[in-house]
Chain A
Amino acid sequence: MFRVAIAGAGGMAHMHASCYTANPNACVVGVYDKRPEAAAEMAGANGATAYASFAEMLEAARPDVVDVCVPTPWHVDYVVAAAEAGLKGIVVEKPMGRSVADCEKMADACAASGTPLFVAHVLRFFPEFAEAKRQVDAGAVGNVVTVRTRRGGSFPRAWENWYGKPDWSGGVILDLVIHDLDWLRWTFGDVERVFAKGISPKLPPASEVNSDYALITLKFKSGVIGHVEATWADPGGFKVGFEIAGDAGLLESNFNQPAGVPFVAALQRGAEAGAAVAVPESPTAVNPYYAELDHFLTCLATGATPSITPKDGCEAVRIALAAFESAQTGEPVVLP
């Protein structure tokens, strides 16, 4: 039985907590959040104890695993502190960190203490994305030439409007399509150069927005050309789709449907709905968030290497921040 302590008690933390509670090999023993009432509520719902500080939780709850679900810029603080506590494993939400330097710091700290670190790139556990990689690897479309993804919906409302502060969240380029960037790198290999246009990279520091949009073009080392659409400006509901075109076929999910509806208008209706971030759902027997966390716990139990490494988390952030930089400078950015 893995004893799990969670840092953060917001939207994603609740999802992770319910997955551990449902898992026969895990239980939530501690919750810490800088808002004590949020920690108390989530602890209560999962039979855990709420703590007044992270250090106290590490000390008193005796966790095997710490799961970091606070907003992105503070991942590094909790992961590094947890790495020094001699745990069995650490989970950190995506994006791994707000900068490549932070990501490397986390990777180094965990390597130094020998603590397995799992970056929760849940998209790899979404069945359609996992199946697409299997099909590509099996040559279903021949040699891949182009790949396009799209992701997003309306603007996510959360604690302190942190998603709306690009300095904190990195906007759609870092926060939202890190999912696709990791899946693309996993499926099509390393990226050679990036060119991007977007709203938030053009804003002065300390800006706050209530929508964001970006279009990213990627050239992979393999020659594949990719396009990533990222939106927090679509009131028409959360949409995810992709298509992969090769010299022997085309594989797609939710992309080229004979919809019979050639025009759609999605308009803002004035006052925003409640504070929540759209979490993509996938109505299959196994919840992908459950699957990713169960995978990590299984690896910890068996000593196997988790399928997502700290380097993966770091590289996805590197690609996203290269796109962010390109959108700032107007020039393509070549990756090392």
Chain B
Amino acid sequence: MTVKIGILSVAHMHAYSYASAVNALPGAELVGIADHDQARAESAAKTFATRAFGSYEELLAADIDAVIVGSENVRHRPLTEMAAAAGKHILCEKPLATSVADGRAMLAACKSAGVQLMTAFPCRFSPAMVRLKSAVDNGDIGKVIAVRGTNRGRCPFDWFTQLDQSGGGAVIDHTVHVTDLMRWLLKSEVTEVYAEISNRMFQQEFDDTGFLTLEFDNGVFATLDSSWSRPKSFPTWGDVTLSVVGEKGVLTLDMFSQNLVLYSDKTGGVSWSPWGTNIDELMVAAFAKAVASGSPLPITGEDGLAAAAVSFAAYASAKAGKPVAPEVVL
């Protein structure tokens, strides 16, 4: 069976990567793209040799099985609710929602419509991450004591720094991936968040810097740097790193370190050209396969909301100047 997929908005740059992943996937078809910015839908449709629809409603009325929501963060809820009402399975970009209430509404809409919701957490598909998880599951380092994580990047600007579109700056953008990896790895929920957050990198209204400390219900403690602290001249977009400290050893992961180093007189700079596995392709393939077979999706909407709730707690902690418990979402 060919899984027919539509894309609801390409506002997020990851939507482009997902579109090319769908095109590269045998057994999947990119039926079309819709966007509230029609010109953006048309140019993306041209790039990916597919059709631009005139509206979300039109695309949802077409013969498709599933959608990918790649909009600005605040539109995740309305687009997910529309897709659920139309009976389509959904792969939604992270952060799942900009408030716990929105996230709960999305979960409820999908449940009552009988469709599945997956949060786009491609890092779970990284072969190095899979290897790390199996080492932990295998007991190679014994009981886990602590985790140190980072997910830094360059500031994406655009709607990411317009709070009415994004719901937050660096902290909402970069907390969720690594929080999800930690939850998945530890099979445990975050019980407490402390955060130092600042906007001193760009001196604007949005936060650009976040150092979080997390406590898990199994006693593990962790920190996470979720800052937009990579300068424009950094040789790559950013990083995802984890150091997992156990009683019997340490596992370290530098997810995007499989690179060539290019010193170029054309650009006058140094850059890293990645040669590692395309994890977006693995994630889209897992989504399409589950949709085709009617089996449960590997990552849920609940996972997305639990990770987002940690970022909301980080903002609350920074405001209060003390540790706070994230809202329990499940």
Q: Which residues of B contact A197 (CB under 8 A)?
A: 146, 213, 215, 221, 223
Count contacts on A: residues with CB < 8 A to the other chain.
Answer: 45
Taken residue by residue from 234 to 252, chain A's Cβ proximity to chain B (1 for < 8 Å, 0 otherwise) reads as 1110000000010111100
B239's partner among A193, A199, A223, A256 (CB-CB below 8 A) is: A256
Cα separation A267 to B135 with both chains bound (whole Å): 11
Task: Please pick, from B141, B202, B253, B259, the residue contacting A260 in the complex, using a CB distance under 8 A.
Answer: B259
Contacting residues, chain A, for B260 (C-beta < 8 A): 258
Decide if B209 touches A258 in the complex (CB within 8 Å).
no
A-B contact count (CB 8 A): 143
- Least CB separation from B229: chain A residue: A245
List residues 190-221 of chain A with CB under 8 A from any CB of chain B: 193, 195, 197, 199, 211, 213, 215, 217, 219
* CB < 8 Å neighbour of B231 from A148, A233, A245: A245
Task: Let me know if A331 is at the binding interface, CB within 8 A.
Answer: yes
In the assembled complex, A73 has its CB within 8 A of some CB on chain B: no
Q: Which of A141, A224, A248, A332 has the most CB of B within 10 A?
A: A332
A223 interface neighbour in B198, B202, B250, Cβ under 8 Å: B198
- Please tell me if B51 contacts chain A, counting CB pairs below 8 Å: no
Total chain B interface residues with beta-carbon distance under 8 A: 58
**CB closest residue in chain A, given B146:** A213
| Nearest B residue to A236, CB-CB | B250
In the complex, whether B111 has a CB less than 8 A from a CB of chain A is: no
Given contacts A148-B225, A227-B211, A231-B245, contact A265 B140 (CB under 8 A): yes
Q: Does A330 contact B (CB under 8 A)?
A: yes
**Closest CB-CB distance, A209 to chain B, in whole Å?**
11
Q: How far is the CA of A227 from the CA of B260 in the complex (A)?
A: 29
Is A258 in contact with B249, judged by CB distance below 8 angstroms? no
Q: Is B329 an interface residue (CB 8 A)?
A: no
Q: How far is the CA of A268 from the CA of B140 in the complex (A)?
A: 10
In the complex, chain B residues 187-232 whose Cβ is within 8 Å of any chain A Cβ:
192, 194, 196, 198, 200-203, 208-209, 211, 213, 215, 221-223, 225, 227, 229-231
Q: Would you call B196 and A262 a contact (CB within 8 A)? A: no
On whether the beta carbons of A250 and B200 are closer than 8 Å, the reply is no
A271 at the interface (CB under 8 A from B): no
Q: Which residue of A lies closest to B130 (CB)?
A: A263
- CB of A145 within 8 A of chain B? yes
Q: CB within 8 Å of B: which residues of A?
A: 141, 143, 145-146, 148, 193, 195, 197, 199, 211, 213, 215, 217, 219, 223-225, 227, 229, 231, 233-236, 245, 247-250, 256-268, 330-332
